[in-house]
Structure 1
Amino acid sequence: MLIKHRYGFPGIALCFLASGFAFSQGGQATGADFSVSRDNVPHKDPVYSPYVGQSHPDRVYWGDSHLHTSYSWDAGLVGNTLGPDAAYRFAKGQQVIASSGQPVKLVRPLDWLVVADHAESLGVAVLIERSDPAILASEVGRKTHDLYKKGEIYDAFETWGLNVIVKGDNPLTDENLTRSVWEEIIDHAEAHNQPGEFTAFIGYEWSSAPAGNNLHRVVVMRDDGDKAKQVLPFASYDSDDPEDLWRWMAGYEDKTGGRVFAIPHNGNLSNGVMFSTETLSGRRINSDYAEQRAMWEPLYEATQMKGDGEAHPFLSPNDEFADYENWDRGNWNGEVKKPEMLAHEYVRGALKIGLQQEKRLGVNPFKFGLVGATDAHTSLSTTREENNFGKISMMEPGPDRWAGQIVPDPDEVGTSTYEFETIASGLQGVWSRENTRESLWDAMKRKETYATTGTRMTVRIFGGWDYDEKDVLRPDFAKTGYLGGVPMGGDLKAAPDGKATRLMIRALRDPDGANLDRVQIIKGWLDSSGDLQEKIYDVACSDDRAVGTNNRCDGLVGNTVNVAAASYTNDIGDALLMAYWEDPQFNAEERAFYYVRVLEIPTPRWTTYDAVFYGLDLPEGVPADQQERAYTSPIWYTP
């Protein structure tokens, strides 16, 4: 059954989709660290204020969990002169001068930031700039220093990278030196952390890439500097095995009483290793591995400058939106990617494999929420297409930046990836009560967070058994959602007889961006035969389009992009889309997940803005426009 209501004012559409309504009582709706206590809601003595006892997250806070400054070797040694202080000031909305000498500013400030400089060679460019004796004491350090000081920046970068990062000839083995740099980074975070106004998380990146397969993780601490300073960052020099990183994280918590998690990223450069069902040492993953991974890695970076990682057309041939900014040629070493690797690199494939492993092990190792981040090495967290300052400082805006390579092809086998193929992505929205380290970190840990490709659209979903189709219209939509089910990142268990999963969804456009095209539910499940399945449901369509029998909006939203002017208009699409949906193919015995993908109307790609600004022809093979999108953390169903 399909019921659609369109209100008499522009920009708002609402859809109800269901396979028949059943309103019996009962069932479980549970989530890790449930975000509102039912005991907090008054049931006995009525009070006038409807907000007494209300404790659920009521705001989305925007931030970037993966930004590099000049303290990262592959940022500072390729021209980034901006340290953590400039990164925080920029994120707070201040105008700064980029390393390329250009002024730059965000359209709106961010609410929080993780400066995630590489643990490996931490602060080397800063030490070179200071001519630190520790750098000059070794041959490789002195050579890198002299090249850098002469202005031969890329030669300095290659010299350090080949000798230290690749060959492991690391001259910076003095723990006191590492500690002094680490404490500088912490002090910057402490100085900029303003509880209630702006959150500066303490963190870093562990940059493992065995055989060129990217297994990098960003490590994010919940704590203040007094605890973070009790340890040194765990680097891939110490081990390139994520299981050893987890042991270090456990040691950090035991030693300090603090809290920490890690966010894996760049699965599309891992050549199938990121979500492998074998450990790095080659053994089949077991329940202990699954428990450790699920505990220490609650999130996954689904989109960033080095390609989008939500879906792939090879894996999802029936998904017309899966072919979006995929990086699928190889790994860092130029090893050509094989088709069988793809399922172990992309969000949707990994979530499905997780269901399969959960049935085998009793624990789902790939039960992660979704985040977006920039991985920018410019100290500038820019994500808008018209304000894209690139991934590294050598490729900041300019008429010749398109030709630079991001991923090399040493054997010339077709694995090169170029600057024009990077994307402006991404951002992370976190549903929280407060803008503090503790509140935001807790929300991330329980997966109440979502990824976008750079837009700041507001998206919220709830899953339960007893929602009514009118609940999505309620002004207390969120309170109703929490009391009747779980938010994104939550778990539904043991479906009551005759009940099916019901989802409520709201999506609101970025106030500084484009209208919305549609809202989609992506369902993945493990069927009774043990096979993995997926299906996409369009559940809300803008511009009065109906949902057809193929579960898709009736026709495309249209396109207002003027390529010659790098512009678009919002006279198509809707500002707000809402939907109620009941799973028409629900089977109480089958494990499943549901997440929401929201698409904006077409807008110009950053290369189109560049082409107009610099008077260039568009690069061959790159689309002139694209559709920004958001991906929510899933809601899981477990029999």
Structure 2
Amino acid sequence: MKKTTLSVIISATLLSSAAQAGETSYSPMAGKDYPQQVFWGDTHLHTSYSFDAAMMGNKGLPPEDAYRFARGEEIRAHNGMIAKLNRPLDFLMVSDHAEYLGLVPMLGAGNDLLLSEPVGQRWAEMLKAGGQESLKAMFEIHHDINNNHKSLANAEVERSAWDAITAAADRYNEPGKFTAFIGYEWTTMPGGNNLHRVVMFADDASKAGQMLPFSSFDSEDPEELWKFLQTYEDKTGGRVLAIPHNGNVSNGLMFALTDRKGQPLTRQYAETRSRWEPVMEVTQIKGDGETHPKLSPDDEFADFETWDKGNLIGLELKTDDMLPYEYARSALKLGLQQEAELGVNPFKLGMIGSSDAHTSLSAVEENNFWGKFSVYEPSAERAAHVPYVKGENGKVFSLRGEEMSASGYAAVWATENTRDALFDAIKRRETYATTGPRMTVRFFGGWDFATDEVSYPDYVDRGYAKGVPMGGDLTQAPADQAPTFMVAASRDPEGANLDRVQIVKGWHDGDGNLQEKVYDVAWSDNRQPNDAGKLPTVGNTVNVDDATWSNSIGSAELTGVWTDPDFGPSERAFYYVRVLQIPTPRWTAYDEHYFDQQRDNDTPDSIQERAYTSPIWYTPALEG
């Protein structure tokens, strides 16, 4: 036995040494360390340990059930139905709110530390009453958090919950098969405006468990969160990052050009933010955050699952001047402008999708959507359901179920399905977002890709050898040469065909203005652009009555090599890919069919699901 073990070690060492030395091998993958597989997951999921999830119906699905469901097991939902994914996920991070972590389960269990306080008794009684009383309690807690009252904050309760969460992640983490990340949500929302981040650890409980989660009770300033992350790494030797949520309910704060004190951004701020926040969540249940039709009026696909009624608790209505500081495309452009002024880009962000579901069920496909809260699990009433509560200012918060989006998932190109490999990939921004379907997208940028290069079977080798992948940087433009981009997209093997592949460019022009343009790169069905350069629509095969569709239109794969026709070698720019599917039924159409109902409203019956890659940035050489 010892002999065999030693020989295996020697062989592995020799192989590793040969690969490092660059020796050739008959095996085409020998010595290659770039990712060959995309992994699917959700980095933003709440369980019964989040106060709002529990008070909106999630009474009995703790982190263990969230991981079991993500791994493909059946879970009984609160509506009595059995829920199961069509395909397991590769990774999941339970990200319960740091504020009052585990509060509601502890109240329900009659925790003496909580019930000894009058406010604890009142919240426990409201929770037990359910319905509007439970909803009012949730908004009381929101108010408590927003005003930093800490009425029922208790470190002992928080420690108990955090230990349970970290232990559950370690228990369900199975390297190479399923990754369970340890994490939580920092839930600061001044005035109801969403500045939330999820905090992701690369580590196990022995490190992540050493410090309690940093909450908005500690500070509502992101810069203080970043200091905490630095302290964590210094103390434990571990690794951690933060992921800002989609900013469409931040009312202009998520990508503001001032800090929390109202001061203009500085180089130090930009460096620190870029250090800790490599990617952003661009699509989720609370709407799509790529762009807005008022920000991108020439983009025919900009108005997708738009959610712009106001901030998180409906206390401040949306105004147009807030929009540029909320959406991903605009934030990426503002980042170029800030880089020109500060020398560092504070918004150099890759893209992922995640759910923000509070049901413990990471299920966001249109025909398997389990809602944001447990009261929105499948039922004949959920689309029209409007929970409401009157706040102290007399305003009423309401949200129709049909306004929620069945979205989204994170796609990560990593070398293996482990915490370290996935974390590394997220840090280098080799990621993309989808609104649910698991379409495969590759994207490379370089200076000399041939027009037919993407057609070669080794196009991925060529992409890494001659250029950079999504999330990468291009510099030092050769004289009189524009960047060339290679993109390949394949449909979800169990999903809809593709309509088109587009490259979205944003740039900071010579006059200091921010520009954007969307280019069609590859498309299906032999369509031809019209005189205005616009493609005809792909068509729509959706049968609303039966909630069905057909792959008789579109393409299973689309590829293209595209050279920027508007390139300015002195202009900072970014490029990302948007892939559009053919139309398919929206989740509301599946509901109508399953529950045999007809609704007369403006909710679309079909949508075009999509993917957004992380950008590739171009930075001109420094003058002088």
User: TM tier, shorter chain?
Assistant: over 0.9
**Greater mean deviation of Cα atoms: 326-335 or 626-635:** 326-335
Question: For residues 561 and 501 of structure 2, what CA distance do their matches in structure 1 show?
Answer: 11
- Aligned pair partner of 1:58 in 22, 28, 36: 36
C-alpha displacement at 1:256, in angstroms? 0.5
Show the counterpart of 1:202.
182
Show the counterpart of 1:343.
324
On the 8 A contact 2:471/2:614 being kept in 1, the answer is yes
C-alpha displacement at 1:40, in angstroms? 5.6
Name the CA shift for 1:415/1:486 in 2 (closer, same or farther; >3 Å). farther
- Aligned pair partner of 1:379 in 348, 360, 365: 360
Show the counterpart of 2:86.
107
- Aligned pair partner of 1:528 in 484, 494, 510: 510
C-alpha displacement at 1:334, in angstroms? 2.4
Structure ranking higher on relative contact order (CA contacts 8 Å, 6+ apart)? 1
C-alpha displacement at 1:162, in angstroms? 1.0
On the 8 A contact 1:406/1:419 being kept in 2, the answer is no
Name the CA shift for 1:407/1:382 in 2 (closer, same or farther; >3 Å). farther
Question: For residues 388 and 492 of structure 2, what CA distance do their matches in structure 1 show?
Answer: 32
Letter in 2 for 1:205: E
Show the counterpart of 2:262.
282
- Aligned pair partner of 1:498 in 465, 480, 486: 480
Name the CA shift for 1:46/1:147 in 2 (closer, same or farther; >3 Å). closer
Show the counterpart of 1:516.
498
Letter in 1 for 2:153: T
On the 8 A contact 1:268/1:345 being kept in 2, the answer is yes
On the 8 A contact 1:447/1:488 being kept in 2, the answer is yes
Deviations 1:233-268 (A, max 9, x none): 000111111111001111111111111111111311
**Greater mean deviation of Cα atoms: 577-586 or 404-413:** 404-413
The equivalences for 1:184-195 within 5 A come to: 184-195=164-175
On the 8 A contact 1:607/1:618 being kept in 2, the answer is no
Question: For residues 19 and 338 of structure 2, what CA distance do their matches in structure 1 show?
Answer: 37
Question: For residues 617 and 160 of structure 1, what CA distance do their matches in structure 2 show?
Answer: 32
The equivalences for 1:158-307 within 5 A come to: 158-163=136-141, 164-307=144-287
Which secondary structure state, in structure 1, belongs to the residue aligned with residue 420 of structure 2?
Answer: helix
Show the counterpart of 1:12.
none
C-alpha displacement at 1:362, in angstroms? 0.2
On the 8 A contact 1:516/1:600 being kept in 2, the answer is yes
- Aligned pair partner of 1:370 in 343, 351, 375: 351
Show the counterpart of 1:79.
57
Which secondary structure state, in structure 1, belongs to the residue aligned with residue 383 of structure 2?
Answer: helix
Cα RMSD over matched residues?
Answer: 1.9
On the 8 A contact 2:75/2:82 being kept in 1, the answer is yes
Show the counterpart of 2:96.
117
C-alpha displacement at 1:620, in angstroms? 1.2
On the 8 A contact 1:598/1:631 being kept in 2, the answer is yes
C-alpha displacement at 1:47, in angstroms? 2.9
Show the counterpart of 2:585.
604
- Aligned pair partner of 1:575 in 538, 553, 556: 556
**Greater mean deviation of Cα atoms: 357-366 or 96-105:** 96-105
C-alpha displacement at 1:168, in angstroms? 4.1
Show the counterpart of 1:18.
none
Which secondary structure state, in structure 2, belongs to the residue aligned with residue 522 of structure 1?
Answer: strand
TM-score, normalised to structure 1, is 0.91
Show the counterpart of 1:450.
432
Residue 294 of structure 2 corresponds to residue 321 of structure 1? no
Show the counterpart of 1:635.
616
Show the counterpart of 1:67.
45
How many percent of aligned residue pairs carry the same amino acid? 52
Deviations 1:485-509 (A, max 9, x none): 1000000012011221110001000
Show the counterpart of 1:22.
none
TM-score, normalised to structure 2, is 0.93
C-alpha displacement at 1:615, in angstroms? 2.2
Show the counterpart of 1:134.
113
C-alpha displacement at 1:377, in angstroms? 0.2
Question: For residues 166 and 619 of structure 1, what CA distance do their matches in structure 2 show?
Answer: 38
Letter in 2 for 1:582: T
Question: For residues 415 and 378 of structure 1, what CA distance do their matches in structure 2 show?
Answer: 20
Deviations 1:315-335 (A, max 9, x none): 111100000011112112421
Name the CA shift for 1:478/1:323 in 2 (closer, same or farther; >3 Å). same
Show the counterpart of 2:456.
474
Question: For residues 462 and 346 of structure 2, what CA distance do their matches in structure 1 show?
Answer: 31
Unaligned runs of 5+ in 1: 1-36
Question: For residues 407 and 305 of structure 1, what CA distance do their matches in structure 2 show?
Answer: 18
C-alpha displacement at 1:146, in angstroms? 2.4
Show the counterpart of 1:311.
291
Name the CA shift for 1:439/1:309 in 2 (closer, same or farther; >3 Å). same
C-alpha displacement at 1:176, in angstroms? 2.5
The equivalences for 1:380-459 within 5 A come to: 380-405=361-386, 416-459=398-441
Show the counterpart of 1:584.
565
Question: For residues 582 and 463 of structure 2, what CA distance do their matches in structure 1 show?
Answer: 28
C-alpha displacement at 1:406, in angstroms? 7.2
Name the CA shift for 1:46/1:177 in 2 (closer, same or farther; >3 Å). closer
**Greater mean deviation of Cα atoms: 613-622 or 599-608:** 613-622
Letter in 2 for 1:176: E
Show the counterpart of 2:13.
none
Question: For residues 205 and 54 of structure 2, what CA distance do their matches in structure 1 show?
Answer: 24
On the 8 A contact 2:246/2:280 being kept in 1, the answer is no
Which secondary structure state, in structure 2, belongs to the residue aligned with residue 402 of structure 1?
Answer: coil
On the 8 A contact 1:210/1:240 being kept in 2, the answer is yes
Question: For residues 395 and 97 of structure 2, what CA distance do their matches in structure 1 show?
Answer: 29
Question: For residues 160 and 567 of structure 1, what CA distance do their matches in structure 2 show?
Answer: 38
Deviations 1:459-508 (A, max 9, x none): 11000001111220121121110111100000001201122111000100
Name the CA shift for 1:236/1:407 in 2 (closer, same or farther; >3 Å). farther
Show the counterpart of 2:594.
613
Name the CA shift for 1:158/1:431 in 2 (closer, same or farther; >3 Å). same
Question: For residues 412 and 502 of structure 1, what CA distance do their matches in structure 2 show?
Answer: 56
On the 8 A contact 1:383/1:425 being kept in 2, the answer is yes
Give the length in aligned residue pairs.
Answer: 599
Unaligned runs of 5+ in 2: 1-15
